[in-house]
Amino acid sequence: MNERTKASTSSKNKKRKRKKRSKGLNIFFGFMKVFGTFLLSALLIVVITGSIFATALTIYVLNYADTTTTVSLENITANYTSRFLYENPDYDENDKKSEEYLLYYALKNTNQHAVWTDYQSIPLNLSNAIVATEDERFLSHDGVDFKRTLGAFVNIFLPLYDDNQGGSTITQQTIKNLTGDDARDLSDGGAERKIREIFRAMNVEKSYSKDDILECYMNIISFATYKYDIIGVQAAANYYFGKDVSQLNLAECASIAAMIKAPAELNPIEDKQANKERAQYTLRKMNDIGMVSSDEYQKALKALDKLKVTGDIEYSSVTQYEDETKDQGPTSWFMDDAIQQSIEILEDYYGINAQEANEKLYSGGYTIYTTVDMDMQTEVEQKMRDKSNFVTYDLESDKLLSAFFCCNYYGEVKAVVGGRKKKKKSQIWSNATDTSRSPGSTIKPLSAYGPAIDSDLVTYSTILKDEPIEIEGEDGEKRKWPVNYSETKMENWSYNDFPVWTMLQNSTNTAAAQLVKMVTPSYSYNFLQQKLDFTTLNIDDADYAPMAVGALSNGVHLSELVEAYQIFGNGGKKYEKTFISLIEDKDGTVIYEHSDSYTQALDPSSAYVMNRMMQKVITSGTGTAAKLETTDLVGKTGTAEDWTDLLFVGCTPDYVSGIWIGYDTLKTIPTGDYQDSAQIWKNIFGDIAENEEHKTFEVPEGVVEAKYCTHSGLLATNSCSHTQTGYYKESNLPGYCNLGY
Ligand SMILES: [Zn+2]
């Protein structure tokens, strides 16, 4: 019984066909005897002759219009649920019951219940029951069962013939379902459609195996009640019996096959008795054909009496994912982005527009593996909702907005939160991925320090003076720029010397301006746009204020800022961020896999020197409030002009993450402490970071740790009185100090 029907061995088919046809003729003549009137015979001759002529004519016509006869089984229009999955954080590979992936969200059109299922998952009893009931010669015919076609023609004129199987084969019914071209009603101009259907059926049989046709058929036929639109055997198994299709017993298989003829009337919820009688017929046919033993037949008949019908529509789309039965509520922040990315992927893959891709996603039965870390996502969401984590702010008005974004060093997004409050609607504006605001000083490592170190224009300890550069204003006047602290707008330059790392640690604006001047604003701009993939930049941004202090015309998305910071934690590699690792279509074909290719934005040694400089931000600079106990953290704070936006981006050995705080419209945040963003980041992410697997960053080859002289910024000699440790690219070591002190 377990051996699958061998459907497409052609030599066998041919033998069977010959046998069946002669047997068919016998039945035909038997039929003639029953109604053995001269009138009927004459009528039949007319009908047969007529159909032969029609067929000949059609062959002639179709030779010139071949395209109308081609039907692709891939053009399935039913609504198959697409599923977003996530990696089970508690997965245990030694526990057979443990699932590696769990359901995150099931995306479906609300009124139709359809779940695609592979031929391999469908029990042989079910496909046999369907074949026995709907088209017993399915395995031997070439798409059209001429005996039945004839019967159907006769039935138009003499509706006496017991038309238990109808005129259409499974192949023809499949075509009817796929094309919507219903040739059932022959008396209403349907003869032409019927002939077209016959030719299409014969063509489909040439292009596809019997298994392919049966798989398609079983996934598109209706099991609808008057209330619910249920499509395909999986949804039927789920709805009527509360089971996965693979778990159906023989009686249940017969009951399902029994519905196909007229599902609304023959389903066991609407009419238990009618379903039972037709299921008995199905079992009898199966027994007659030899698909089941008489023992199995008898047992199944008894089981039919005790058939347990569930009829739970909430279970209608369930396969292996339990939570699918529950009300899913609005989509999460992460799901919103995963849906958006899926649409973009489908657009690219199929060469279709966003609207078409959206429809495809909701009805295509895709399996989408997301990159979310569900434990992290849950914890971060919960902490973002807790007002006490936003310590210093007057939250009485409750208008303060915030966003959080985290990915690993392969660009895989692990957590995203687009708002501080509980999300109540699906697919809404996200402050993490939609809002674009000034990055403030968080731009400096990307636009100024990174490129300057990478271009060997400065080292870790090159001495810079806190003094302005001269830039030309719009009026053509030269002026000194920039001031160091935007809120005072005062000319507060100290003219003191500091090593590069100290300038970054203290976020000194003048130093950033000097570095951008060295690399040139257009170099910085191109670096951000081409190497780091910022999408919100504008050509006007290739200038000093945008590149040195983050005064960009359109700002940046928090998500893109965090994505760019990958380079400081993984040796300069910039992976494209992704919410999705893999997408399979409903047949299991992989249509997307996150690429492991990357842009080497900085040399690994440059990236590590930057990393060490940014560690100083945390240990003794503007970000000390974020400092962790056990895990290394490097990062940068950012404050937009007039304190309208606060940011912190931090790299820990396993993750890069960032937080943004601001208002809906630009408004000063009631705080005077630039440390606030670092503190809030720690409140949200600190516990997760402390528990990371890795505690320190890997040191790449080509980096040298050495003492330097704080007076000259050059490598220290024995004569140097004040020295500190610095990090250098082996390829760009400073010379030795020659000051003599
Ligand atoms: Zn010295």
Q: Is it true that the peptide bond before 546 is cis, omega within 30 degrees of 0?
A: no
Give residue 499 CA to ligand 1 midpoint distance, Å.
13
Report pLDDT digits (tens) over 327-345: 678 899 999 999 999 999 9
pLDDT of residue 740 exceeding 50, the answer is: yes
Give residue 725 CA to ligand 1 midpoint distance, Å.
13
Secondary structure letter of residue 721 according to DSSP? S
Shared domain for 711 and 610, answered yes or no, is no
pLDDT at 48: 74
Band (pLDDT 50/70/90 cuts) for residue 472 is: confident
- What is the residue-averaged pLDDT of the chain? 86
Give residue 123 CA to ligand 1 midpoint distance, Å.
82
Give residue 730 CA to ligand 1 midpoint distance, Å.
20
Give residue 737 CA to ligand 1 midpoint distance, Å.
5
Shared domain for 32 and 52, answered yes or no, is yes
Give residue 464 CA to ligand 1 midpoint distance, Å.
16
Domains of the chain: total? 3
Cα angle 569, 624, 467; round to 5: 85
Give residue 716 CA to ligand 1 midpoint distance, Å.
6
> Are 564 and 445 spatial neighbours (Cβ–Cβ below 8 Å)?
no
Distance CA 485, CA 501 (A): 18
Shared domain for 581 and 432, answered yes or no, is yes
Shared domain for 575 and 721, answered yes or no, is no
Shared domain for 660 and 723, answered yes or no, is no
Give residue 603 CA to ligand 1 midpoint distance, Å.
29
Q: Which of 183, 207, 231 is the last residue of a domain?
A: 207
Q: Which of 178, 207, 236 is the last residue of a domain?
A: 207
In a domain, 420, yes or no: yes
Give residue 722 CA to ligand 1 midpoint distance, Å.
7
Report pLDDT digits (tens) over 546-590: 999 999 999 999 999 999 999 999 999 999 999 999 999 988 899
Shared domain for 590 and 716, answered yes or no, is no
Distance CA 56, CA 44 (A): 18
In a domain, 319, yes or no: no
In a domain, 737, yes or no: no
- Determine how many CB atoms are found less than 10 A away from the CB of residue 424: 9
654 closest CA partner among 609, 613, 605, 693:
693
Classify residue 420 by burial, with Cβ atoms within 10 Å: 0-12, 13-18, 19+: buried
Give residue 458 CA to ligand 1 midpoint distance, Å.
18
Two tokens at 30? 């038997």
Give residue 503 CA to ligand 1 midpoint distance, Å.
20
Stated pTM of the model: 0.75
Give residue 710 CA to ligand 1 midpoint distance, Å.
7
Give residue 717 CA to ligand 1 midpoint distance, Å.
7
Q: Which of 147, 174, 207 is the last residue of a domain?
A: 207
In a domain, 184, yes or no: yes
Report pLDDT digits (tens) over 77-86: 666 788 999 9
CA distances to 139, 215, 617 from 118, in Å: 19, 7, 56
Give residue 93 CA to ligand 1 midpoint distance, Å.
59
In a domain, 286, yes or no: no
Shared domain for 709 and 596, answered yes or no, is no
Give residue 498 CA to ligand 1 midpoint distance, Å.
14
Shared domain for 711 and 577, answered yes or no, is no
Give residue 514 CA to ligand 1 midpoint distance, Å.
24
Report pLDDT digits (tens) over 425-459: 988 999 999 999 999 999 999 999 999 999 999 99
Shared domain for 725 and 597, answered yes or no, is no
Give residue 706 CA to ligand 1 midpoint distance, Å.
13
In a domain, 683, yes or no: yes
In a domain, 216, yes or no: no
Shared domain for 671 and 715, answered yes or no, is no
Strands of the sheet containing 413-417, edge to edge, are 413-417, 401-408, 655-662, 645-651, 634-639
Give residue 738 CA to ligand 1 midpoint distance, Å.
6
Give residue 122 CA to ligand 1 midpoint distance, Å.
80
In a domain, 287, yes or no: no
pLDDT of residue 298 exceeding 70, the answer is: yes
Shared domain for 94 and 149, answered yes or no, is no
| Beta strands 112-114 and 229-231, pairing class | parallel
Distance CA 129, CA 136 (A): 9
The values of phi and psi at residue 337, to 5°, are -70, -35
> Are 414 and 373 spatial neighbours (Cβ–Cβ below 8 Å)?
yes
Give residue 721 CA to ligand 1 midpoint distance, Å.
7
Give residue 502 CA to ligand 1 midpoint distance, Å.
18
- Under the phi-then-psi rule, with left for phi > 0, alpha for psi from -120 to 50, and beta for the rest, what region is 638? beta
Band (pLDDT 50/70/90 cuts) for residue 400 is: confident
Helix axes 124-134, 170-179, angle to 10 degrees: 90
Give residue 32 CA to ligand 1 midpoint distance, Å.
116
Give the CATH number, domain containing residue 607: 3.40.710.10
Give residue 616 CA to ligand 1 midpoint distance, Å.
22
Shared domain for 46 and 168, answered yes or no, is yes
Give the DSSP letter string of 443-486: GHIIIIIHHHHHTTS--TT-EEES-PEEEE-TTS-EEEE--S-T
Give residue 469 CA to ligand 1 midpoint distance, Å.
27
- Domain limits for position 677: 81-108+329-437+566-695
